[in-house]
Structure 1
Amino acid sequence: MSGPVRVVVVGGGVGGLTTAALLARGGAHVTLLERHERVGGRAGTWEVDGFRFDTGPSWWFMPEVMEHTFALLGRRLSDELDLVPLDPAYRLFPEPGTEPAVEPFDVTADRDANAARFEALEPGAGDAMRRFVDEASDAYRVALDHFLYTTFERPDRALSADVLRRGGALARLLTQSLADKVAGTVQHPVLRQVLSYHAVFLGSSPYRVPALYSLMTHLDLAAGVSYPRGGVYRLVEALEKAAVEEGVDVRTGADVVAIDVEDAPRSLRHPRRTGRARGVHLADGTFVPADVVVSGADRHHTETALLDARHADLPDAAWGARGPGISALLVMAGVRGELPELRHHSLFFTRDWPANFEAILGTGRSTPADGLRVPDVASVYVSRTTATDPTAAPPGHENVFLLVPFPADASIGARPGELDAHADRFLDQVGAWAGVPDLRSRVVVRRVVGPADFARDLHAWRGTALGMEHTLRQSAMFRPGVSSRHVPNLLHVGGGTMPGVGVPMVLIGAELVAKRLLGETSARPLPAPLRPGYLAAALPRGLWSDVAADRG
């Protein structure tokens, strides 16, 4: 068969768009199939009556990862997005009545000011915070240099002399929880929250993620926080533009209902192989042929709904021991009048954090399928992008986005009015804590999203908001890989695949797909920019070589 290798990418989220662009640049003929009428997946946007909201990610993390992705495509991130540094990074609202009493305070871009704030709340905590952040920055660099950019096809490639020298420290970071590490650093409950809230962005809690994820403290207390003017959806638009310019055929309204796999025998090279992907079937009866299929759909949905069980790496029975992490209640509210009490980012922390996390995730490291509940009082993340970008709301108004961590339970929100009642309660909570008691009465437009919506609209496993949580058993080499063991020319990208959840991790995951096709097993990022047609240089051990051989 002549002509370029045909790749079908299922799903137009951040991972799907990036994978499509990278593989098209490599010389593949790429078709991207998105179920909805607009690309973006979890990173969506909602515009109504002059208001604009990001409906998913809203916190800009790991800028060097973003820059590298665009560099691979021969582009500069600064040409695509206008990034605005945020100072303060966020405002923290402890629950009223917290003992000892703490007034709301800002975390700023000034490290000395932050250390002084820590010191004022607890003698000695300023220096302890500095040491913690220095260690976090070091762990962040080790993760980028040795672990995040590897497919773990060759785990030994990550074991450099530098990693071996740090063996004892890394072992402690992996065997200790983040909460325990923080507890050994500061005693004040609010300061502990400042150093460990990032676990929520990993779909988990400080009591369940390894202490290695203290590295995320580097992202706000050392690297600083930025915002892409116009919203995070501008990143999606930039990725879609890059994909189209690289030659990707982007088709929206294309609902993939099955991955077509023909039986294939095992071989020395593929001892677990059961089949070979030959394309995908759409809901309208269309068949789209492919030599390689990359699924950016929810991993559970891909394994249990799009694949026949005999070809799945993770059939239904394999999911009982896995944890979906948190879901969320999202409230997008257009508010009349100004809200100077809120920063661009604001964090509202409950007094009883362990009980809050137990309600939404369960006790300890277990992951029960039931027994979880919506907490009465919750920690809440609030974004007010009009603090930085007034164009996100009409004159005289503000946009407010609430994210309340919820249990991953797809039944929550299935009953009429259920989510609205929760939204009312948490808008009132935010208003009371921030000193805006009339907040809810000033809302002029509102949209509420919950676990049932994630399950319906994104096929999200158990209605999770982010993807599989980052416990030790679901991180790094223990996370489901980018390659199918049973269908070698089927690959995966997204929050249910290594390296993990969040926009930067998913961008790296797209690069891991390219590395797997190339047969590149190093722990280093690919060199940028990628040469157009680079996949033709795939190593003999690469999947690209297999595909070329299969095509004859």
Structure 2
Amino acid sequence: MQRKTAIVIGSGIGGIACAMRLQSLGFQTHLLEKLDAPGGRAYVRRAEGFTFDMGPTVLTVPHFIEELFSLEQDHAMLGEPDFPADVLGDDKRITSGISGGPNTSRYVEIIPILPFYRIYFDDGTFFDYDADPVRVREQIARLAPEDLEGYEAFHEQARQIFNRGFLELGYTYFGSVGQMLGVVPDLLKLGAVQPLFSLIKKYFKSDKMRRVFSFEPLLVGGNPMKVPAIYAMIHFVEKTWGIHFARGGTGALISAFVKKYEEMGGTIRLGADVTRINVEKRDGKRVATGVTLASGETIAADVVVSNADYATTYMKMIDKKHRPINRDALVKFRKQSMSLMVIYFGYRKQAGDPDLQHHNIIFGPRYEELLTDIFERKILGPDFSQYLHIPTLTEPGLAPEGHHAAYTLIPVPNKLADLDWSQIGEGFKDKVLTLLEARGYIPNLKERLVYHSYVTPDYFEQTLGSYVGNGFGVEPVLTQTAFFRPHNRSEDISNLYLVGQSTQPGGGTPSVMMSAKMTVREIARDFAIDPRIVNGVPVRLPAAA
């Protein structure tokens, strides 16, 4: 039996994971990337001896990575338990060694990072955030003793939300209203649909603890003031499986995924800019038949999966005659996540440097008002918060000897704001670096600086193809969660699917890997393919199965 073919547009983590799974399912898969290297948002910038991951740097749930490296041509792993007993212990914690699982370790080294984050407050105090229950409680007692009792209650509710929302529903694809309605009573009972910050305020009195236990949705594009409280499960995801780092950076993980994918027989083409998803009318239905590249080349396929931005996929890649009248309005109606300014810089080491960590969260003086500025008012306020990433504290080889490679990421409004980044970018960059120096995070930074560059919302819009320069796809508010989030199977066009941060379940490295599994499961169902493969050929199920 001749293999069916699949095209995956975009080689972000979700796209690569999807391509690996399709190849494993029995499709001959072709991964198309418009940039000159794979990774999408996880692209790597190299300059003057420095290596910078341009995007995601926080790796969680390492057994998701292990599962991808365990794929084989004859086993799609779509019917396996998602959280098997050999991965989860009695306390739902990863068993030892899974961070560098046996199949992962053949391709890349994954190591845990402690603390997960050092969280700095504007008064100079800090909180080391990790999974150690004793240390967490000691730090709460030191900074906000009035919140110890509230933390215990929050911890229990977050655990229940994690058990139901992640362990039980994590891989649930909500393709119908009925599926969504079936879980709403449980989520209401758990208090998981109220705004996260409302839940946090219920348990914590101090501003510091409210920040510590609510900031994580910002790492997936969500406003802590507006995301549903189901995102409290991020706390337990990190607590349960830790924060990890790939030796060589996230780019090394991308390279390892590509190597595994090619070993399985998949192909990847760089510089392949897809400008159109080709659609035909067959028996009264719209059917995706392949893609057209900017060069004019047409590539046919039985399945097309887009890892490109959801709005870009529908509004730019599909001819208007194949889109229902309300599709453009629906796409434009959806709220997009905030954008980012990211500054990449290399600097000389200096004796007596402060004790920064691999991951640092540096809060400005405001929190709730700053979030409102970014997400609602869409203005640049007088202050900002940032995530400072210094991977050379873990792996010095990412910079020339005697130097550090770093980046700092600042949430900013997306391009619905009236901001001209070509005019304000340089000044804003200087303001950020000046603060790092003046507040003593990196003393004498400007005189030690040997390299710097930056990206703004223009990069997300123009290079990555993100609608209005969003940094994380569709914003994860309640009305854009689960069934209400863009679907992984197109409702309009047969054989067209989506994967990645704009689709279910959402943004973040573990979620886009989950998205890939969800999407390929739907493809397997639609093509009546049993995940078992016999001699490299997928087992076709009867149409009624």
Q: TM-score, normalization: structure 2?
A: 0.87
User: Partners in 2 of 1:125 and 1:530 — Cα distance?
Assistant: 54
- The residue number in structure 1 matching 2:319 is 308
Deviation of 1:461 (Å): 0.7
- The residue number in structure 1 matching 2:96 is none
| Aligned 8 A contact 2:279 2:290 in 1 | yes
- In structure 2, do the counterparts of structure 1 residues 15 and 332 end up closer, same or farther at CA, with 3 Å as the change threshold? same
- The residue number in structure 1 matching 2:386 is 380
Select 1:475's aligned residue among 481, 485, 492.
Answer: 481
Q: Aligned pair 1:458/2:469, yes or no?
A: no
Show CA shifts across 1:382-408 (max 9, x none).
000011111111111111110000111
Deviation of 1:165 (Å): 8.7
Deviation of 1:534 (Å): 7.0
1:536 counterpart letter in structure 2: V
For 1:230-269, what aligned pairs fall within 5 Å after superposition?
230-266=248-284
User: Partners in 1 of 2:145 and 2:489 — Cα distance?
Assistant: 50
- The residue number in structure 1 matching 2:409 is 403
Select 1:136's aligned residue among 158, 166, 171.
Answer: 158
Deviation of 1:413 (Å): 8.0
Select 2:366's aligned residue among 349, 352, 372.
Answer: 352
User: Partners in 1 of 2:210 and 2:243 — Cα distance?
Assistant: 20
1:295 counterpart letter in structure 2: S
| Aligned 8 A contact 2:180 2:482 in 1 | no
- In structure 2, do the counterparts of structure 1 residues 538 and 498 end up closer, same or farther at CA, with 3 Å as the change threshold? farther
1:17 counterpart letter in structure 2: I
Aligned residues with identical type, % of pairs = 28
| Aligned 8 A contact 2:378 2:416 in 1 | no
Deviation of 1:410 (Å): 7.0
User: Partners in 2 of 1:327 and 1:285 — Cα distance?
Assistant: 32
User: Partners in 1 of 2:496 and 2:322 — Cα distance?
Assistant: 10
- The residue number in structure 1 matching 2:86 is none
| Aligned 8 A contact 1:428 1:437 in 2 | no
- In structure 2, do the counterparts of structure 1 residues 527 and 241 end up closer, same or farther at CA, with 3 Å as the change threshold? farther
Select 1:201's aligned residue among 219, 223, 237.
Answer: 219
- The residue number in structure 2 matching 1:86 is 113
Q: Aligned pair 1:169/2:189, yes or no?
A: yes
- Mean CA deviation greater in 306-315 or 485-494: 306-315
- The residue number in structure 2 matching 1:28 is 27
Deviation of 1:417 (Å): 5.3
| Aligned 8 A contact 1:115 1:125 in 2 | no
Unaligned ranges ≥5, structure 2: 76-101
Q: TM-score, normalization: structure 1?
A: 0.86
Q: Aligned pair 1:420/2:426, yes or no?
A: yes
For 1:139-538, what aligned pairs fall within 5 Å after superposition?
139-153=161-175, 166=186, 168-170=188-190, 172-174=191-193, 176-266=194-284, 273=285, 275-312=286-323, 315-338=327-350, 339-362=353-376, 371-409=377-415, 416=422, 418-519=424-525, 533=536, 535-538=538-541
- Mean CA deviation greater in 381-390 or 424-433: 424-433
User: Partners in 1 of 2:184 and 2:507 — Cα distance?
Assistant: 27
- The residue number in structure 2 matching 1:366 is none
RMSD across aligned positions (CA): 2.7
User: Partners in 1 of 2:57 and 2:205 — Cα distance?
Assistant: 30
User: Partners in 1 of 2:242 and 2:152 — Cα distance?
Assistant: 15
- In structure 2, do the counterparts of structure 1 residues 167 and 48 end up closer, same or farther at CA, with 3 Å as the change threshold? closer
User: Partners in 1 of 2:159 and 2:542 — Cα distance?
Assistant: 34
1:419 counterpart letter in structure 2: G
- The residue number in structure 2 matching 1:117 is 139
- In structure 2, do the counterparts of structure 1 residues 21 and 377 end up closer, same or farther at CA, with 3 Å as the change threshold? same
| Aligned 8 A contact 1:413 1:451 in 2 | no
1:316 counterpart letter in structure 2: D
Unaligned ranges ≥5, structure 1: 97-101, 267-272, 363-370, 543-552
- In structure 2, do the counterparts of structure 1 residues 528 and 56 end up closer, same or farther at CA, with 3 Å as the change threshold? farther
- In structure 2, do the counterparts of structure 1 residues 165 and 408 end up closer, same or farther at CA, with 3 Å as the change threshold? closer
2:506 counterpart letter in structure 1: G
| Aligned 8 A contact 1:334 1:445 in 2 | yes
Aligned residues: 513
User: Partners in 1 of 2:54 and 2:432 — Cα distance?
Assistant: 17
- The residue number in structure 2 matching 1:540 is 543
| Aligned 8 A contact 1:61 1:225 in 2 | yes
- Mean CA deviation greater in 341-350 or 145-154: 145-154
User: Partners in 1 of 2:318 and 2:219 — Cα distance?
Assistant: 29
Show CA shifts across 1:15-70 (max 9, x none).
22111111112111211111111110001111112211110001112223323333
Aligned partner of residue 439 in structure 2, secondary structure: helix
- The residue number in structure 2 matching 1:270 is none
- The residue number in structure 1 matching 2:80 is none
User: Partners in 1 of 2:355 and 2:171 — Cα distance?
Assistant: 40
User: Partners in 1 of 2:533 and 2:61 — Cα distance?
Assistant: 21
Aligned partner of residue 519 in structure 1, secondary structure: helix
| Aligned 8 A contact 2:339 2:413 in 1 | yes
